[in-house]
Each structure stands twice: as C-alpha cells, then as structure tokens.
Structure 1
C-alpha cells in the first residue's frame, strides 16, 4: 500500500552545529556527521553530495509511550580517543538508556551503528531514516520490504540508491517490518505522534520528501549502505553485517590512531604542557582537515561538512564547494601537520582547475564546474603561495608549477590591484588582505619565472607595496578622532582609489543587511590589514598598524565567556537575526573564532605569546573540538538557545578555522608566522621598499607619480608611448619592450620631475592603432 500525503512537506537539512564529522581511512567513500546525538548528513561517493538528511531513533513500548531520542537532554558522547572518529552516544531517560556506537566500514560505502537499549523490558528501539538522495529531499522514492529473505528499508533517486538493514545477536535479521511515508504527513514520527505506536506499514512512498521507519531488536547492528541502486546498496549493507561490529570499530581506531601519530603531531612536538582542551582541539583539527578531503578528486576539500542554518533550507550548495582560498589555507595546515603528500595533492588539483587566463573560479563543485562566477585576486594568488611553500620545504616533489605560476601572476598583474570581490565576497575594490596576498605571490612566485617575467613581477610587487597606505589607509577621520588614533587601514577601498584618493569617502555597500547603513569606505574597518604583518610586508610596531589594531579591537572585538572573538567588519550582516532567527539573506554578523587566530598571529609577531588566543579558540569549540564559523556574541534571545561564546547556526566545523588553529600553534613553536613566505621576508623585512618605479596600466590608470619615481607604462600589446612634460613639452616617443605575461612596457621619466609637475601621454598599439586617450599624471611628494 502506498503512503498518503504526497509529496510531503518542503524538505530541509539539519542543524549545522556538528558534534563530530568522520570517515574511514580505508577504501570507503562515505562521510558522516553527527548533531544532537544522532547521525545527520551522510555523504557519498563524493564529499559534496549529501545523501541522507538524518538517521535517528525512537524508543517506544507499543502502548502509547514513545520518545524521539534527539529531543532528550544532551546525551553523553565519547570518542575512542581524541581525534579518532569512532563515536559512542548514550541517550538517557528515566525508563531507558540507548547507547549508539558509530563508525564507517573501512572497505565499503557503509555506515555502521551498534544499537543497545537497556532498561524497561517492554521498550523497543525504532530507526528513523530520512533519505535526501542526490543532495535533495525532492523526488526521492522509498520502500519498506524484503530482500534475500531480510527486512530492508530502501530509497532511490536518479543514479543513487540506499539500503538499511540490521542483524541482532543470534538472529539473521535485526530489523522488523518497516514503513515508508511522506515527511510531515505519513512518516514514522507522525505515526507515533498520532497513534503512540507504530501502526502504519506503508510499502512505498514517492517521489517526494520521504522517510522510513522500522523496529529493531534491543541489541542490534544497523548498516546503511549507499550505491548506484538499492540492490547494490543492500549487497554492501549485508556484506558489512557479516562481520562483527567490533571488527569495524577496532579497524577505525587503529587506522586513525596511526594517522594521528604521523600527521597530528603539532601539539606534542616542543610543547608537552599544552592544556588538554587545546590538545584535543588540535587533534580534532587534524581529523577535520582529513575528513574534508575527497576520494575521487584527491586534493579537493570542501569548506564545511555542514549546511549553515540547514534546518531552514534545502539548498546543499554554499559550503559543499571548493574555494581556492580555503583550500590553500587548509593545505598550509596540512604542511604544518607533516602531511606534505596531501598538500601536494591540493597543488595538483589547483593546477588542473586553473583557467587558461590564470584565475580560478570563485568556488566550484569538486569536478571543476563553477558555482558562483565572481573573481577574487587573492584566490589567484594563494595557489602560487602553496607552490612556493612546498618549494621552501623541499617538498614539491617535481610537480611542474612554472606554467601555473606564470598564468596566475599574469592575471594578477593584468587585473590588479583592485579585485572584483574581497575575501568575504561582498565588495569590489582594493583590500589590504588581497594586496598582501598578491604582493606575496608576486615575490614568492618570481623564483619560478624567467628573468623578464621575474623583473616585471617584482616591479609590480614593489610598486603596490609602496602604495599600500596611499590606497587603503585614512587619517584624521571622525572615526579616528572618536578612538583617538591618527589613522587606520580600511577593510576595502573603492577601485577608483588608484586614481583619486577621495574615493575613500564614497559609500561602500554592506551586503547581507536588510537596510544598508550607508557607511563610506573610510569608516569601514576589518582585520584585513593583519595580513600585511603576517606576510612580512609591515612590522607590528608601525604606528599605523598599532592604531589599526586599536580601532579594530574597539569596533570588532567581542569578549565572550569563552574568550575574545572578532567580527569581520563593522556593520556585517552575515549571521542570525537579533531574535535568533536563521540568516535568510539578511541578519547581523557574529564573531568568528577564525579571526581570533588571525589576531593571535599578530600578537605573536608583536612579541606576545599567542597561547591565550589558542585557548579561546579551543574554548569556543564543540565537545570534540570542532570549531564553528561564528559564535553568539550578545545576550541570547529569550526564545533561542544561543549562549554567548557558543556556536551559532552558521557552518560547523569550518575547515579554514581548523587550519588557522593548526598554523597558529605551528607559528607559536617557530616564533614567527608559519605561512610567512621566506622570499617576501627577505625582500621587505616588514618595511616598504623605496619608491623608485610607478606602474601605469590601462586597467589601473594611476594619476599620481611620486617625486623621484620613474614611470613605467605597461600595455597589452607592443607599441609606442607618445609622452611629454608639463603640458606636452619635450615630447618624445618610446617603443615598448616585452615585459612577459603578454605585456609590453616603456620606461618614460628619468626621475627628474619635481612636485607639482605633470606627465602627459598617449600610445599607439601595433594592432589597435592610436588609443584616442590622453593621460595626465601629476607629480607629488612621496606618500601623498
């Protein structure tokens, strides 16, 4: 009999605040998550395809008493050992204790659960399964039946199928006859709500938002298999059940313990006195970084095995994607953990997914298909820094990187210094963070290039470095006076700042707000400037840096009971509403533990011990050390469970946050930022170079030349630059010469111009002829 209520309620995912994520280190291509003491999203065969919404349990006596265990008070959770995803959960009730042990099968795409119910002898456990095959709750078909003489719960959609079966001690079948239904109408939960027992036995349901229910023996082992059909999934499940659960448990503990010893050694080496909570969080970070790696596409990592505010939406996108920036941040942490082979896999994946013009997608599915179509210059720069980091550690292992580096640096030079999007993907312009990453990539990547390209890359890096403050810092603003500082770096300057400094007074939109407060760029502050110190472009004691830290701490720091965390920027709207409602395209930004790590890196550079920042991050983690994207940083709403310093409904875990924790501990041991490129420090040592050369391009047409600088005109084709001084006097022509990266340059001035004088120019391309543009560049004192 088919269940009534087609197609069921609008599907959603589950709570993003994961207590654990896990996978096997064997051949299995299955990942699982846990929230609320039950299994939530299960991924297969790639890490970007969730196939199950949740797998939970009801305990009932068949006479009207029933409890869904995820609604009980917080369960007792324990791991076989820290950093090993072998989980035991105990749900307690006055009438019973339900114990679950969860591990994947190492050799099959199967998740195993050992179920033990103790207490009142009339009670029985029931398994609740909500399939979301193909990454959605729409269009699934479900059935409860028998296969090869055993009761099985089945689901199918498109190329995917799943099967759930069970065995019990002394029996071949631990699963009773089940039922399929539509969520919110005829599913198992509705059956118990209306009847107090399992009264419905619907054979099938779908297509729609479906769910499955079946009774279990009080001591049983459940196997959830996922494959290309329901029959194939059942074969996998039955195969896994042929062995004792203890075999899978012991294999998981052994494999992960060995990995932790090999690639989780950051806490042990050189600092045996770390607090236990921090050691556990570091071990969890090693686990998270491994669990976010794909098997089909080695080197690909998603941002999070969670769906932010998933209980309010069905969209699986967003965090189940590869961001080049997040990916390289995580690869750096893998290097810190000694997992150089996995970092090399990341580099190979990035080489494979680079566009011919040198950039990468803003984000993409694992196979390389773009998701959003924005372009971020830092994401073109980070892969170069990964290649340089592997080279610096003598760990590149022969991977050919020159072509990738040449393409990436060429893209940066041709499109910078302004980026279409900042690192938070919200505004275009010139960002101190993006500039720091791009300058570092130009310097660190120059060593892979020939002399012509190397000279151009270093010249552009030096020029952008000399202009950092001119483009991204302000002095004497109302905000500066309010906080008694001389000046500070802004979070993003409008792109026009390379032509006119007054652009900093223009309004810069703040996204994710119901009502944009209309702040000018000069009044928006973030922690972007800290990257200048971290990468060796500025010293921590510089007055402008210190003033920026002071104003950022005043505006962005949130002191929670768990420790300090920082907002992305003042006015941020990416987070829950003040009343606790999920982010729905608008909200109010919350504090990020990731930024606590960035602030800790600055503290280290300034001569402080960053241990308090590490401890704060660990204190904001979940029970097994998983770090959230955001924590609640205000008095919690009366009707919401948001204690200060604890995770919000944003992503958890955030792989980037775990990478930051690992690198901060590695930096603490080194006494300097772990990811500071050595060539950058050698070239700059924290100080800007002397301004000797200014670079003008058609895409970044500067209007100011500092006294003492020569002017370099870079064009996208060979040609002649026609130029003069002070109203077209002393006119002359200069032919361009190749500059590498498909560019051609002409050096114009001999550095003899004084303040107040001008340079006028136009150009003729060999292919395009005269440009029809006249450019006037004024000479000013350095720093103006």
Structure 2
C-alpha cells in the first residue's frame, strides 16, 4: 500500500505546510495489479482494480489471473531498505509471452495516482488493453462513465476520476460489467464494440486499447488517474500531474530540498537501533514504519486505521459502502500508535491521542441513551458509528496510551490534566463501574 507523506502543521493536516498541498490518495496492490484506491477519506474507495488484458497469438491473458508477480520498492538506501512506499511491480505471463513493469506512486501535491508502464513482448506479438474498474463513492454501482482515446472518466455524485494517458489510446470504450465491458468483449481476441458513454449508471469498466507490440519489442506508457469534484476537476488535476512525473516522484520520496518520505524515515529516532537488531539489515523494519504511517487519514490527523484492506472471505453487497479494515478500532489504533512510538515517531502517537475524543461515547453521541466513557468498537475516521460492541480493552488502551505519552514526555502535565477530566476519568469510571450500553442494538449491561 502507499500514499504521500504529509507533514503536520501544529498537529493537524492543512495545506501550506512543509509538504505543501495535502494529498488524500491511497492505493493498494495485490497479485501484481492495482487494487483498491481511495480518495477523500481513507476508507472512500474510488477504484476496485486496474489491470491489463493482453491478446496473444495463443489466447487472452489477464494480469493477476494468468500472471506471476513480484513487487519491489522503487526507492531504497544503499542497504536495500525502503525509503518510500513507491513500487516497481513486475507481472510475467505464466506462459512466458510477455512481461509488464509498473512504477506506482502518488503526486504529493495533487489528488492523483501515477502508473508508469513498460510492456515487453517476450514470445510473439502482443496487444495490451488497459482495464479500469471504478468503484466511485465507495460503492460498486451507480457509476457513470465516458471513454475517448484522450482519456477515461467515471463519476458518481460530485466525486469523479479521470485517467489520462501520455499518448492517446488506439481505441477506448466504457461498458457494463459482464455485459458490454472490454474484458467480456475481448473473449474473441478483438475489441469489437466501442461505447463512448455509459448512459445509465451502473457497475462499469473502462477500457483503453494500446498498440500491438512485436516480439522482442517494448512499449512504454504513462497513466495518471486524477480525482476531484466533478469530471472537470479530476481532469485538471490529472493534467497538472502529467506535466512533471519525475518531479512528482522526487517530491514523493523527499529527495534533495523536498520534504517527503525520506524525511519521515530520518525522523524516527529509534529505527536505526531496531534495524541493527534485525536479521535482514532493517528492510522489514523500514517497510513496517512506512506502512504504519501510510494508514493514517489525511483529514483527521491521528486517525489510525487497522489496515488498508478488507477481511479475507468477507462478502459484501457492492451496492452498499464498506470500510472493511479501513476504520478505527481502538485496540488496533493503540497498537499502531505504540509501534510508532517504539520507532521514535514523536508526533503521530500524540496526534492519535488527541483524536480519541471523537470515538468516545458521551451524552451527546448520536443515539446514545446509556452509559458514557467507553470507546466505540469500530467507527469511520470522521467518527461515524459502525460497530457498537463493548470490549473492555478498547476502553482501557486509550488510557494506557495517554500514560505512555506522559511518561515519555510527549504529553505535558497541563494537557494531561485537561484530558483526565474529559476523557480519561470517564473511561476509567466505565471500566470500574460498568453500565448499560444504549446505542443501536446494544442495550446490554456491562459489569
């Protein structure tokens, strides 16, 4: 997974700080293909997946399904330890007919994702097709789309994406999944039907045809996916990013005078000690540090989620939004904050502690008719209630985090005193006295 590094401004995220504009784009990778990509809040998926389908002399091959893959960090130090969550992803056809290399990262000064692609024909000619499955507004349906050789677009409500290629497509189409989409059409090895607009909203796929690549040859293409309010905003953002792809990577990494991921890694005072004790030279420790920081929302500073993923085996109706693990659980939240403290991050755990009142039950919590002081089991990063089970450790761990921050000198006596009366004591009272929960289905007596 990856996202841009954004520096705090007085413990918050806002434009104009050391890292400039705050980027709110996250991406994930699985089986060598781009999977869930979020824009806005960290749980708001806008893309289900993007992959390439390749027509060969012996049949159709699809990335992820018919390929093997390996993923490497794009920016590493002399010891091979990752310095940013930018990736080189290489997929190889299981029959050895082609290889695809993708370099994936975000624009730290824009709402854009960058995918720089090289396709190599290894055994016979190949014709690749880009397949983009939108998931606008965190749902699988209700999307509208437009397709032209100059770009692919999708939107639902006010949220839009626009994919721009650096060279126009040979052909482009938008269709409904399983009926008129590009992958279904390519079953016979040809893109027979081309549609420029979806018309009605639904579950759509966008397809862009690329040139035929002869055996032994390569094809390079750059793609930028911009997000924004409405198609025009998304297209403008993608165009701005396309103008300087190398510069975007330098800013993402924090090379030279830019402030980026290199600076965050350098700020972790205990990371060198942990790396020295490892058996791989610190590669896993550096990668873990990057991933822990990636899974913080960029609107609500300190909102640490469990993971940029969905539970294995979980079946969810795609017509309804789903957060999966991209939500705040106080137990996971505590573990992430403590891991960052152990690495020597002096800012994120404090921002996390200051965030916690948003997910504590009070008399003003929507729908609450019962006890107060306990922390909600699972919420969106903006505090929207999702699960209301009561687990005592989810209320005890925020108290422990405050104590650890105070002992480490990160939380002043004055600030701790303020938190004691309004957050810590109500939580401790609930742990000691219990009470009757009174939110949604949960009206159980906790003792």
Give the TM-score normalised by the residue count of structure 1.
Answer: 0.47
Distance in 2 separating the partners of 1:335 and 1:399: 21
Q: CA RMSD in A?
A: 2.6
> 1:656 maps to which residue?
none
Separation of aligned partners in 2, 1:271 and 1:155: 44
Partner of 1:323: 329
Cα distance, 1:249–1:60 mapped onto 2, change above 3 Å: farther
Contact kept in structure 1, 2:309 and 2:324, CA below 8 Å: no
Partner of 1:230: 231
**Hey, what does 1:413 align to over in structure 2?**
429
Give 1:87's aligned residue. Answer: 87
5 Å-filtered alignment, 1:399-478, equals 400-406=415-421, 407-414=423-430, 416=432
Residue number in structure 2 paired with 1:202:
195
Residue 73 of structure 1 deviates from its aligned partner by: 3.6
Q: Indicate yes or no: 2:82 matched with 1:67.
A: no
Matches within 5 A, 1:658-677: none
Q: CA deviation at 1:126?
A: 1.6
What is the rounded CA distance, in whole Å, between the counterparts of 1:420 and 1:280 in structure 2?
47
Residue of structure 2 aligned with 1:112, choices 109, 114, 120: 114
Paired residue for 1:221? 222
* Structure 1 residue aligned with 2:161: 162
Paired position in structure 1 for 2:14: none
Aligned residue number for residue 399 of structure 2: 384
- Between 25-34 and 69-78, the greater mean CA deviation after superposition: 69-78
Alignment partner of 1:208: what SS? coil
How many residue pairs end up in the alignment? 392
Once the 2 structures are TM-superposed, how far is the Cα of residue 119 of structure 1 from its aligned partner?
2.2
- Which of 339, 347, 368 is matched with 1:341 structurally? 347
**1:52 alignment partner, SS class:** strand
Is residue 373 of structure 2 the alignment partner of residue 370 of structure 1?
no
- Report 1:112-261 matches (<5 A): 112-119=114-121, 122-145=125-148, 151-167=150-166, 173-193=167-187, 195-205=188-198, 206-216=200-210, 218-243=219-244, 245-253=245-253, 254=255, 255-261=260-266
Q: Partners of 1:57 and 1:72 in 2: how far apart?
A: 11
> Residue 274 of structure 2 contacts residue 285 of structure 2 at CA under 8 Å; is this kept in 1?
no
- 5 Å-filtered alignment, 1:695-774, equals none
| Distance in 2 of aligned mates of 1:307 and 1:351 | 26
Unaligned runs of 5+ in 2: 7-21, 212-218, 363-371
- Which whole-Å CA distance do the structure 2 matches of 1:309 and 1:288 have between them? 19
In the TM superposition, what is the alpha-carbon distance from 1:332 to its structure 2 partner? 1.2
Distance 1:373 1:191, change over 3 A: same
C-alpha distance in 1 between matches for 2:53 and 2:436: 51
* Residues 1:220 and 1:410: Cα distance change in structure 2 (over 3 Å): closer
Q: Is the 8 A contact 1:303 1:326 kept in 2?
A: yes
- How far apart are the structure 2 equivalents of 1:162 and 1:398? 47
User: Matched residues in 2 for 1:259 and 1:215: separation?
Assistant: 39
The answer as to 2:312 corresponding to 1:296 is: no
1:727 corresponds in structure 2 to: none
Residue 183 of structure 2 aligns to a residue in which SS?
helix
Q: Deviations over 1:409-443 (max 9, x none)?
A: 3444355476989xxxx9x89xxxxxxxxxxxxxx
Residue 30 of structure 2 corresponds to which residue in structure 1? 35
Question: Within 2, Cα distance between the matches of 1:311 and 1:223?
Answer: 31
Q: Check 1:99–1:174 CA distance in 2 against 1; reply closer, same or farther (3 A cut).
A: farther
**Is the Cα–Cα contact under 8 Å of residues 396 and 427 in structure 2 kept in the other structure?**
no
Q: 1:410 to 1:71 in 2, by over 3 A?
A: closer
TM-score, normalised on structure 2?
A: 0.80
Greater RCO, CA 8 A, separation 6+: 2
How many angstroms apart in 2 are the aligned matches of 1:39 and 1:399? 46
For 1:134-155, what per-residue CA distance to the aligned partner results, in whole angstroms no more than 9, with x for missing partners?
111021111113xxxx611111
Distance 1:263 1:292, change over 3 A: same
The answer (yes or no) to whether the contact 1:142–1:180 under 8 Å persists in 2 is: yes
Secondary structure of 1:161 counterpart: strand
C-alpha distance in structure 2 between counterparts of 1:144 and 1:264, whole Å = 49
Secondary structure of 2:393's partner?
A: helix
Deviations 1:656-702 (A, max 9, x none): xxxxxxxxxxxxxxxxxxxxxxxxxxxxxxxxxxxxxxxxxxxx6xx
Tell me how far 1:375 sits from its aligned partner.
Answer: 2.7
Task: Please list, as runs of the form range in 1=range in 2, the aligned pairs for 1:519-598 lying within 5 A after superposition.
Answer: none
Q: Measure how far apart 1:91 and its partner are.
A: 1.9
- Larger strand proportion of the pair: 2
The corresponding residue for 2:373 is 358
Equivalent residues of 1:109, 1:225 under 8 A apart = yes
In structure 2, C-alpha distance between the alignment counterparts of 1:324 and 1:338, rounded to whole Å:
21
1:272 and 2:276 matched: yes
Aligned to 1:466: none
Runs of 4+, deviation exceeding 6 Å: 417-421
Q: Does 2:5 correspond to 1:25?
A: yes
2 CA distance for matches of 1:104 and 1:130? Answer: 19
Q: In structure 1, what is the Cα distance between the partners aligned to 2:104 and 2:64? A: 15
